[in-house]
Amino acid sequence: PINPLMLQCPRCGRQFPDGVHVCPDDFTPLQADATIADVPVDPLIGRVFDGKYRLDQRLGGGGMGTVYRATHLLIEREVAVKVLSQRFVGDETAQQRFRREARASGRMAHPNAVMVNDFGSTDDGWLYIVMELLEGQTLRDLLAREAPLDPARAVSIMLQASAAVGAAHEAGLIHRDLKPANIFIEQRPNLPAVVKVLDFGVAKLAVDEQDDDYKTLTQVGSIIGTPRYMSPEQCSGSMPLTPASDVYSLGIILYE
């Protein structure tokens, strides 16, 4: 729910407590919401994708798409559905990247990586990925409230995150956008906390460069990631990335 008394990022929609004036993820100045009535109504709320997934609530969004709490109507189970942003619906390169996210995430069978269950497209052009629904908070939210963390707790979080990233590297996948907002602390009643690494949407598969799909995605020449956590070679935009770039980002996260 939106709290009109809290400052909100106009770009990603997240809210922050007193004392925070700039979004830590996209560095956009925060603004105050005048009233709850000013919040625009999401036209996708209530939509049913492919007769199976009903979008019930917006959970958050990023550069590539928006994540919704949804219901799998056939088995009456809550899931998370990530929908490609509308501005990308007619963009073939973005659609290729989104499909690559689905394939890459689907290859990640690791207890510390978010599980992808399905992928599809609607008749009117929306692309979507269905994932497990997580209950808890991002590491970004945890740090905003409780930093600095006890060293033992920080190490426990990083060991789990590193296990998922290590499994990705073994599968030929480089995340490229590791940051606290993409590390989720799942907390369910009467169970220990579990760390889940999110959003392989900007991941680069370490495939052969003769792959036409690979060349199409990399010819754009854009630097994808969050500058605060990016390695020098990723910031340069001209050097090939290796798994070491993810290790650099993990080191910054651990320090923070």
Q: List residues with catalytic annotation.
A: 177
* Helices (H), ranges, 178-231: 212-218
Q: Contact, 131 vs 114, CB < 8 A? A: yes
Query: Rounded to whole angstroms, how far apart are CA atoms 140 and 84?
Result: 23
**How far, CA to CA in Å, does 203 sit from each of 165, 175, 211?**
11, 4, 16
Q: Report whether 161 contacts 197 (CB < 8 A).
A: yes
Task: Kindly state the tokens that stand for 192.
Answer: 């220990």
Alpha-carbon distance of 155 to 178, in angstroms, equals 16
Q: How far is CA 163 from CA 94, 132, 133, 187, 221, in A?
A: 29, 19, 21, 18, 30
Q: What is the side-by-side order of every strand in the sheet holding 183-186?
A: 136-138, 183-186, 194-197
The C-alpha atoms of residue 79 and residue 67 are separated, in whole angstroms, by 10
**What sign does the dihedral 165-169-173-179 (CA atoms) show?**
positive
Query: Three-state DSSP class for 220?
Result: coil
